[in-house]
């Protein structure tokens, strides 16, 4: 995880709960946007919640977060040494629960693998184990 000169290092990971991802995308496009996003603050009204985590090499991390009202996406950004937006940023839309007269974003479990240079989806255990 987070290889630098062939040695794994700790990784800063920020999780954002968003009502809308537009401000997050705009921040990424700014010159110092990645550094500002790695501070993990509520930089815009569309950010309902922000949490910083430090992940150590070889560490399995389970982090439970209550979904805040109005959250529709979870955005993650990882502070890899070799930062590439496509590999270090992941935005996940939460499923929508249909209720009688309105729709509400539902909660979900998100399983990710932090490889040496990118955030990846966890391999499907059903396809690996045949369960």
Dihedral angle, C-alpha 11, 114, 17, 124, nearest 10 °: -170
Tens of pLDDT, residue by residue over 99-130, are: 555 555 555 778 888 888 888 887 764 434 44
Residue 99 CA neighbour count, 13 Å, CB half: 6
Tens of pLDDT, residue by residue over 18-60, are: 999 999 999 999 999 999 999 999 999 999 999 999 999 888 8
> What's residue 110's pLDDT?
80
User: Which conformational region is residue 5 in: left (phi greater than 0), alpha (psi within -120 to 50 degrees), or beta?
Assistant: left
What's the rounded mean pLDDT across residues 2-29? 92
Residue 12 CA neighbour count, 13 Å, CB half: 14
Q: How many helices (H) and strands (E) does the chain have?
A: 4, 10
Distances from the Cα of 28 to the Cα of 18, 82, 86, angstroms: 14, 16, 11
Q: Are 114 and 126 in contact (CB under 8 A)?
A: no
**What domains sit in the chain, N to C, each tagged with a CATH number?**
3-129 (2.60.40.4150)
DSSP classification of residue 73: E
């Amino acid at each position: 995880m987070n290889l630098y000169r062939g040695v794994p290092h700790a990784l800063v990971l920020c999780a954002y709960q968003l009502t809308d991802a537009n401000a997050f995308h705009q921040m990424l496009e700014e010159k110092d946007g990645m550094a500002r996003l790695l501070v993990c603050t509520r930089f815009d009204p569309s950010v309902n919640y922000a949490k910083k985590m430090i992940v150590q090499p070889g560490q399995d991390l389970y982090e439970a977060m209550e979904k805040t009202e109005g959250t529709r996406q979870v955005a993650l950004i990882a502070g890899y040494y070799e930062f590439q937006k496509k590999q270090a940023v992941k935005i996940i839309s939460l499923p929508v629960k249909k209720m009688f007269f309105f729709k509400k974003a539902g909660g979900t479990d998100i399983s990710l693998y932090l490889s040496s240079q990118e955030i990846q989806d966890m391999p499907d255990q059903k396809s690996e184990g045949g369960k």
